[in-house]
Amino acid sequence: MKRIAVFTSGGDAPGMNACIRAVVRGAVYHDIEVFGIRRGYNGMINGDIFQMTSHSVSNIVQRGGTILKSARSKEFMTPEGRQRAHEQLQKFGIEGLVAIGGNGTFTGATLFFDEFGIPTVGAPGTIDNDLYGTDYTIGFDTAVNTALEAIDKIRDTADSHDRIFLIEVMGRDSGYIAIQSGIAGGAELVMVPEVLTPISEVVKTLQAGFNRSKSSSIVVVAEGEEEGSAAEVAEKISKLIEGELDMRVTTLGHIQRGGIPTAYDRILASRLGLGALEGLLNGEKNVMAGVINNELVYTPFRDTIRLPKPINEDLLRMVKILSV
Ligand code: F6P
């Protein structure tokens, strides 16, 4: 393989730039020509493809977002879109791809390989940490720290005003950000999509807190939680608790996706970027590079797409115990 391309796709995540840098610098080191594709699969379809050098990735290891930009491409999910993308790759003579993204990205790459035989190796880039085949995804650690900073600040107000705060964090269908930011922020309760927490139990926990003279409480709610959004949970709680409740809802939203990546994310991203590139050069295809127990491993896309990544329920038990 003499010419490859790298792109970012799906939601951006802090550390994606460090990953791009590792792919590009790794390619230069191994004497491979490397191209960047802008805006994920949309750029592939539109031929938004340019040659990269070592200098193209100078001074980006510390930057959030992605210099290659990102998109969720509907067109690539159609056979016509993939046909156009293939024509563009042929035009540029690109023989293999490194895709930095999540499950949607890897689903597209699998379809593309089945139709045109272009091999892809993935690097897991998403704040959600919802990918089977790696302990952590690029961006997750930074997102947890961003959420934590917000929780710490909100706790000041919760404490000063004797309030209950419901704080909604991102994660799509996964509770990883909620659990980790909740534990680190000393939340009284964490609600995640993987384990149903009935409203009656939330009320019981809050009331038990009041009975122990707790004057404020923080509940971290993952966005995909079964009882609904944090606002809906708040409404359900107020219906079940008698009397006036001083309760507020804060939805953290996209601040969790941006910002300077932590050292952990930069190192993980560098390792996964180089791991994905070297895997591709060594003949790996349709696999995602991941780190499990500190070892670099490759997991087939079909598993990262299909298999759930279970949360550690013992951590939820810990939240309960530590909030007595
Ligand atoms: O996958 C990352 C993520 O931020 C999820 O946590 C969230 O559900 C989704 O993307 C939001 O997507 P968008 O930026 O398209 O609104």
**Tens digits of residue pLDDT in 273-321:** 999 999 999 999 999 999 999 999 999 999 999 999 999 999 999 999 9
Residues composing the chain: 324
List domains and CATH numbers for the chain: 3-139+261-306 (3.40.50.450), 144-256 (3.40.50.460)
Backbone angles phi, psi at 108, to 5 degrees: -60, -45
Contact 162, 319 (CB under 8 A): no
Query: 6: CA distance to ligand 1 center in Å?
Result: 22
What does the block give as tokens for 40? 């994920």
Amino acid sitting at position 65: G
pLDDT at 245: 82
Q: Is the CB of 257 under 6 A from ligand 1?
A: yes
Residues 68-89: tens digit of each pLDDT: 999 999 999 999 999 999 999 9
The model's confidence at residue 243, banded by pLDDT at 50, 70 and 90, is confident
Contact 298, 289 (CB under 8 A): yes
Contact 285, 4 (CB under 8 A): no
Is 135 among the residues known to form the active site? no
What does the block give as tokens for 134? 């790696």
Q: Is the CB of 172 under 6 A from ligand 1?
A: yes
In angstroms, the CA 292 to CA 42 distance is 31
Nearest CA to ligand 1 atom 15: 11
Backbone angles phi, psi at 242, to 5 degrees: -80, 150
Question: Per residue, what are the HEC states of the chain?
Answer: CCEEEEEECCCCCCCHHHHHHHHHHHHHHCCCEEEEECCHHHHHHHCCEEEECHHHHCCCCCCCCCCCCCCCCCHHHCHHHHHHHHHHHHHHCCCEEEEEECHHHHHHHHHHHHHHCCCEEEEEECCCCCCCCCCCCECHHHHHHHHHHHHHHHHHHHHHHCCEEEEEECCCCCCHHHHHHHHHCCCCEEEECCECCCHHHHHHHHHHHHHCCCCCEEEEEECCCCCCCHHHHHHHHHHHCCCCCCEEEEECHHHHHCCCCCHHHHHHHHHHHHHHHHHHHCCCCCEEEEEECCEEEEEEHHHHHHCCCCCCHHHHHHHHHHCC
Residues 91-131: tens digit of each pLDDT: 999 999 999 999 999 999 999 999 999 999 999 999 999 99
Residues 137-181: tens digit of each pLDDT: 999 999 999 999 999 999 999 999 999 999 999 999 999 999 999
Q: Which residue has the tokens 């951590």?
A: 315
Contact 323, 315 (CB under 8 A): no
Q: Is the CB of 170 under 6 A from ligand 1?
A: yes
What does the block give as tokens for 250? 């804060």
Nearest CA to ligand 1 atom 6: 171
Query: 71: CA distance to ligand 1 center in Å?
Result: 11
Query: 241: CA distance to ligand 1 center in Å?
Result: 32
In angstroms, the CA 125 to CA 196 distance is 27
Number of Cβ within a 10 Å radius of residue 79: 10
Q: Which residue has the tokens 């690097």?
A: 123
User: Mean pLDDT in the chain?
Assistant: 97
Q: Is the CB of 11 under 6 A from ligand 1?
A: yes
Q: Which of 12, 114, 128, 162 is catalytic?
A: 128
Provide the ipTM.
Answer: 0.98
